[in-house]
Amino acid sequence: QQQVKQSPQSLIVQKGGISIINCAYENTAFDYFPWYQQFPGKGPALLIAIRPDVSEKKEGRFTISFNKSAKQFSLHIMDSQPGDSATYFCAASSNGANNLFFGTGTRLTVIP
Amino acid sequence: EAGVAQSPRYKIIEKRQSVAFWCNPISGHATLYWYQQILGQGPKLLIQFQNNGVVDDSQLPKDRFSAERLKGVDSTLKIQPAKLEDSAVYLCASSLDFANTGELFFGEGSRLTVL
């Protein structure tokens, strides 16, 4: 079964706009929530991550918002740029598991 | 620092044939993972090694897939016999200390097409 549900499947945003990708999970044992970015022909690369002791984490134009009670987390990309066009995966892990469960991915296209 | 190396990058085979993929992780990374990424889906863990021991292979279709990491460094993933539904990108990843860093480093993947 899909441990992490991600939406939307695809997203088109104008340059300078805000891109928002959402994820939800059921397993309350999950305690680590990273986002990975994947360009065509490349492997995924860690973009930003959060642990449930905080509700928000910001790194440059990228922000994770985390809602523990709703079991949801989201990625916000501010001032989206054409270079941000890629597929974004949310993921989750539980303490001691040492591996990741990935969402189905969101293909982001930023139009110049 | 060299990244995770994988080969071949592309492979096309007929169903029921066999194929093998090779992975060389980042130097010093004790944990190695093989993920399967079907087109339009997220990566799914097939097998996880800690040094040369298997940590998790619960999602590996053992009737046709096998993997080994004999000396705790390089790893090979084999599929025999291949089915049409095995068409996917096979990603190898490694980690130095996932419990603390939470980061997996992925290779560029090996794309398999089964005809």
For A13-34, write each residue's pLDDT tens digit.
999 999 999 999 999 999 999 9
Q: Tell me which residue in A34, A41, A102 faces B43 most closely, judged by beta carbons.
A: A102
For B57-101, write each residue's pLDDT tens digit.
999 999 999 999 988 899 999 999 999 999 999 999 999 988 888
Q: With beta carbons under 8 A apart, name residues in chain A contacting B106.
A: 43-45
The whole-angstrom separation of Cα B42 and Cα A53 is: 26
CB contact (8 A) between residue A102 and residue B31: no
CA B20 to chain centre: 10
Buried b (16+ CB within 10 A) or exposed e, A84-108: bbbbbbbbbbeeebbbbbbbbbbbb
Quick one: pLDDT at residue B91?
97
By C-alpha distance, which of A18, A103, A30 is closest to A63?
A: A18
For A36-89, write each residue's pLDDT tens digit.
999 999 999 999 999 988 999 999 999 999 999 999 999 999 999 999 999 999
Q: With beta carbons under 8 A apart, name residues in chain A contacting B42.
A: 4, 6, 89, 91, 102-105
The whole-angstrom separation of Cα A54 and Cα A35 is: 16
For B27-68, write each residue's pLDDT tens digit.
999 999 999 999 988 999 999 999 889 999 999 999 999 999
Alpha carbon of B96: minimum distance to chain A alpha carbons (Å): 11
CB contact (8 A) between residue B104 and residue A105: no
Quick one: pLDDT at residue B23?
97
| A102 touching B (Cβ < 8 Å) | yes
Q: Tell me which residue in B56, B95, B106 faces A45 most closely, judged by beta carbons.
A: B106
> Within chain A, how many helices (H) and strands (E) appear?
0, 11
Mention every residue, 6+ apart, whose C-beta is less than 8 A from residue B89: B36, B37, B109, B110, B111, B112
The whole-angstrom separation of Cα A109 and Cα A87 is: 9
